[in-house]
């Protein structure tokens, strides 16, 4: 059975950066399942999986435009340290949910100064080419519930 819209595909993956360092990997006993066509994985990977079937192995390089997007320098900004009231220690690498004009977004602390904290609203993988090694384990028809919600049943629980 081929991977096409409204089917559920299950695969193992290893994601590496340009230097071959592993960024993420599916657990050995828990491959990733997703609803194909629901926009639940990065577009470049979803496009590469179209038409594949269980047993296929492939390597996919996803450019930033089809992954987590290009870096947007306007999402890096200094905010007053007072915006972090109630937080005892602020260190680079910490992540917080911020509320901006476009709604809630995850930001990462880049630098901590005396009076200001520099935050970055870009996804940590924005601007990076994603290198996937994929092994497709299973492809099945989606249930009616999965078709209605556009994702694999039980993922939101």
> Dihedral of the CA atoms 68, 74, 89, 86 (nearest 10)?
-110
Q: What is the pTM of this model?
A: 0.85
Task: Give CATH 3.10.50.40 domain extents, the chain.
Answer: 7-68+126-149
Task: Give CATH 2.40.10.330 domain extents, the chain.
Answer: 73-120
Most confidently predicted of 4-13, 79-88, 145-154: 4-13
For every residue of 101-119, which 3-state class applies, written as one string? CCEEEEEEEEEECCCEEEE
What is the fold of 7-68+126-149? Chitinase A; domain 3 (3.10.50)
Question: What is the model's pLDDT at position 156?
Answer: 52
User: How many alpha carbons fall within 13 Å on the CB side of residue 20?
Assistant: 0
Question: What is the model's pLDDT at position 98?
Answer: 85
Question: What is the model's pLDDT at position 157?
Answer: 47
CATH class, domain 73-120, is mainly beta
Nearby residues of 140 by Cβ (< 8 Å), 6 or more positions away: 1, 7, 8
């Amino acid at each position: 059975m081929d991977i096409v819209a409204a089917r559920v595909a299950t695969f193992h993956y290893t994601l590496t950066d340009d230097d071959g360092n592993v960024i993420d990997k599916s657990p050995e006993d828990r491959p990733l399942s997703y609803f194909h066509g629901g926009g639940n994985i990065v577009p470049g990977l979803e496009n590469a999986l179209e038409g594949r079937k269980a047993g296929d192995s492939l390597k996919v390089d996803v450019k930033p435009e089809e992954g987590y997007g290009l870096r947007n320098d306007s999402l890096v900004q200094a905010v007053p340290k007072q915006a972090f009231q109630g937080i005892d220690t602020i260190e680079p690498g910490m992540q917080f949910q911020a509320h901006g004009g476009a709604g809630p977004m995850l930001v990462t602390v880049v630098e901590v100064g005396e009076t200001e904290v520099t935050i970055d609203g870009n996804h940590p993988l924005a601007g990076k080419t994603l290198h996937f090694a994929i092994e497709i384990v299973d492809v099945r028809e989606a249930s009616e519930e999965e078709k209605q919600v556009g994702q694999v049943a039980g993922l939101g629980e």
